[in-house]
Amino acid sequence: MRANARVVAALSLRSIKQAFRRPQFLMPILVFPSLFLAVNVGGAGRATDIPAFPDVAGFLDFELAGAIVQSTMLAAVSGGVALALDIESGFMDRLIAAPIPRTAIVVGRLAATAAMGVLAGVWFVAIGLIFGAEIQGGVPGALLVIAMATTCAAAWGGFGAALALRSGTASVVQGTFPIIFVIIFLSSAFFPGNLLLEPARSVSDWNPMSFIAEGIRDPIVSDISAQPVLEGIVAIAGVMALGAALSVWGLRKRLAT
Amino acid sequence: MRGTWLLMRRALNEVIRVPGAAIPGIAAPTLFLLGLTAVFGNLTLLPGFSTTDFMAFILPVSVMQSATFSGAATGVNLARDIEQGWFDRLYVSPISRRALLAGHVLSASLRALMPITAVIVVALFFGVDLQGVDGLLLAIVLAAAFAAAIACYAVVLALRFRTQQAAPLMLAGSFMMVLFTTSYAPLDLLTGWFQEVARYNPVRFILEGVRQMSVYGVDWGHTWKALVALAGLTLFFGAFAMRGLLRAADA
């Protein structure tokens, strides 16, 4: 058990170092969502004047959750791309031949994706505070936001890993970037669900991304309330379970070839 | 002149022979058109918003994004040519540096026509009312010319970094030029420092020029500002691209 943890930690550390050494992995996680955050807040900041808009201190406060979930999903795809590159370069074969549990290979990668989630959470909470947002839930609220960003990244990371294991090609995983935007656009991540246009409004009612975003948003825009946070945690757990099942299936298929 | 034309033909051949390469340039702006409309469509409820149809308002942004894709692709292709050594062969051929630059940049304008048309067709399918044929033609010309300006910018980066890994920089940089404008809302409805950036961003005038197609209708006030901004941007990035080409030849 302890040896397994050491393997996972070593592989995770390798993945994190890889992300920091290659800006093309880090840039989509932090820079793109930050720029979109700036555009959304600057361009649509007056949206809080719309009568049906929820009562929030500012549009930046509202948008932070959207930027965080976007960042964590991009982290998941970047993790998948990195795993696919390991497969393409033959590094994965060497890991499979090594005397380590096979699941540690995937868990190590997901741990690194979770670490990117921590980074995303801290980054956007800091950006928010610097640019005048208020975390209404205080320090516990900020910690809750970061914890949910971490688990959210790991949850979606399962899908990235599964795709990488199944396809074995970085370009296929890279090609899922537009799907991220589709999932986010069809949720209440960037705008209140009641103000979305159809069909996004109906889809957002069932989209797990809406529950995750609302769960992350709650400690920012109000005191921590049980319902949205619990719904967010359940949605993350659901996504994580499905992602984990798909990665296990992908790993089995890869080992069988 | 002949050298420029041959380089343009070569770039067009890439589109014809690898049609799949054009898909991201069409898919991404279409996705943004539909997605941003679904998300921010109710911004038109704000007093002072210049139209009640948000898709009509955001369509020019997608048209400009289509142009930036084509412009950035020119830089990425040039970086690939540099990596593969093909560009060195162009350097030793009896073709002027000006023709080299013109061939690459003008091909971006031509290649942009396909995604620009595709995005407009999607918008028409979803019920956007255009303000007339003159506005449509003007928008296409402005956006295609903007693709050339972005191509100059991408060429500067390609010559500087000499690797396709600079592609995200080419794309992100040009996307932000378009988005840090009145992309989501009229200038008076923008907030904070973003409003000031948009006010002085020359791309805003080009965007507003393209927006005559679906929101304002054609008028000289929007058109001349768009033309001046376009000329300025093309000259600015074109001068740097030319300098890059001359320096690369000396290296």
Query: pLDDT (tens digit, 0 to 9) for every residue of chain B, 251 residues total?
Result: 676 777 777 767 766 766 666 677 788 888 889 999 999 988 898 888 888 889 999 999 999 999 998 888 888 777 777 777 777 777 777 777 777 777 778 888 888 888 899 999 999 999 988 888 998 999 999 999 999 999 999 888 888 877 766 677 777 788 888 899 999 989 989 988 899 999 999 999 999 999 999 888 889 888 999 999 999 999 999 888 888 877 776 66
Query: Is B224 within a domain?
Result: yes
If one counts the domains in chain B, the total is 1
User: CA nearest A192 in B: which residue?
Assistant: B39
Query: Is B218 within a domain?
Result: yes
Contact check, Cβ <8 Å, A196/B31: no
Predicted model pTM: 0.83
pLDDT of residue A88: 80
A179, B13, B5, B112 alpha-carbon torsion, rounded to 10°: -20
The contacts of residue A26 (CB under 8 Å, 6+ apart) are A19, A20, A78
Contact check, Cβ <8 Å, B38/A199: yes
CA distance A154 to A68: 13
DSSP state, B129? P
Q: Which residue has the tokens 């950006």?
A: A127
- Is-contact B234 B97, C-beta < 8 A? no
Q: Is the pLDDT of residue A16 over 80?
A: no
Q: Is B141 exposed, middle or buried (0-12, 13-18, 19+ CB in 10 A)?
A: middle
Q: How far is CA B51 from CA B136, B184, B222, in A?
A: 17, 12, 17
Residues of B within 8 A of A60 (CB-CB) are: none
Contact check, Cβ <8 Å, A40/B184: yes
Q: At CA B73, angle to CA B89 and CA B29, rounded to 5? A: 170
Range of the domain at A177: 2-256
- Is-contact A6 A100, C-beta < 8 A? no
CA distance B172 to B176: 6
The ipTM, to two decimals, is: 0.80
Closest chain B C-alpha to A60 CA, distance in angstroms: 11
Query: Is B35 within a domain?
Result: no
If one counts the domains in chain A, the total is 1
The contacts of residue B129 (CB under 8 Å, 6+ apart) are B53, B56, B214
User: CA nearest B39 in A: which residue?
Assistant: A196
Closest chain A C-alpha to B215 CA, distance in angstroms: 18
Query: Is B47 within a domain?
Result: no
| Number of Cβ within a 10 Å radius of residue B134 | 12
DSSP state, B147? H
| Number of Cβ within a 10 Å radius of residue A172 | 15
Query: Is B30 within a domain?
Result: no
- Is-contact A189 A33, C-beta < 8 A? no
Residue A169 corresponds to which tokens in the numbers above?
């090609």
**Quick one: what percent of chain A has pLDDT higher than 90?**
30
CA distance B8 to B100: 10
Range of the domain at B69: 2-12+53-250
Q: By mean pLDDT, which of A10-19, A117-126, A148-157, B48-57 is the weakest?
A: A10-19
Higher pLDDT, B9 or A247: A247
